[in-house]
Amino acid sequence: MAIAQPRPASLEDHPISRRTYRIPTPSIAAFRALVDECLLLYITGALIHGRPRIGKTYAIEFIRRDLERRHPRLSIYKMRCTRSQTPSENSFFSALLYAANHPAQSGASKAALRGRLLHKLRQVADTKGDERIVLFADEAQNLHELHYEWLRDLHDELESNGLRLFVF
């Protein structure tokens, strides 16, 4: 008489049924190695590219969770970059605040939004005890050149406060 082995999860709740599983493909493993190398050598960013619809967003989520598990003191954020006709500093910093789980005040000035973001990033980094801040910019091809200048300015301002921003 065989003893029935209990299932670890019901079929309805199983990650395969719900499509919530993530498998580290060779591309994701290469992405992970690149992120690890950048963090180790203090290379403050890299471009990850691939054809549309091949799983870059899922790869970012896999790497984000993996980093949280392996480096619990890191501050890690993911920003979805939406397509816009003209760059807006208010929209850009509001999106960064949203990524940092810190809502923007409606009608706030650009300087106020930037100040709130800097304060929030510094606060989280101080609480976690690591000066490194990781930002994943998903769909970064939607950004304009001006957005990258704002990111550079943010990087420089954080660095002057003893923090290091890594953007992927």
Give the pLDDT band (50/70/90) at residue 103.
confident
Residue 18 has pLDDT above 80, yes or no: yes
Look at the block and give the residue holding tokens 């970064």: 140
Q: Calculate ∠ Cα 100-58-140, nearest 5°.
A: 60
Look at the block and give the residue holding tokens 């304009």: 144
What does the pLDDT look like over 30-40, one tens digit per residue? 999 999 999 99
CATH C-level class of 23-167: alpha beta
Which pLDDT value is given to residue 5? 77
Burial class (CB in 10 A: 0-12, 13-18, 19+), 116: buried
In the chain, where the domains are located: 23-167
pTM of this structure = 0.88
Q: Which residues pair with 167 in a beta bridge?
A: 45, 135
C-alpha to C-alpha distance for 63 and 99, rounded to whole angstroms: 16
3-state secondary structure of 29: helix
What does the pLDDT look like over 53-68, one tens digit per residue? 888 999 999 999 999 9
- Cβ neighbours around 17 below 10 Å, total: 12
Give the residue-averaged pLDDT of 104-132.
Answer: 94
Pairing type for strands 132-138 and 75-80 reads: parallel
> Mean pLDDT over all residues of the chain?
93
| Helix or strand run (H / E) with residue 91 | helix 89-99
Q: CB–CB of 90/114 below 8 Å?
A: no
Tokens standing for residue 163:
């923090």
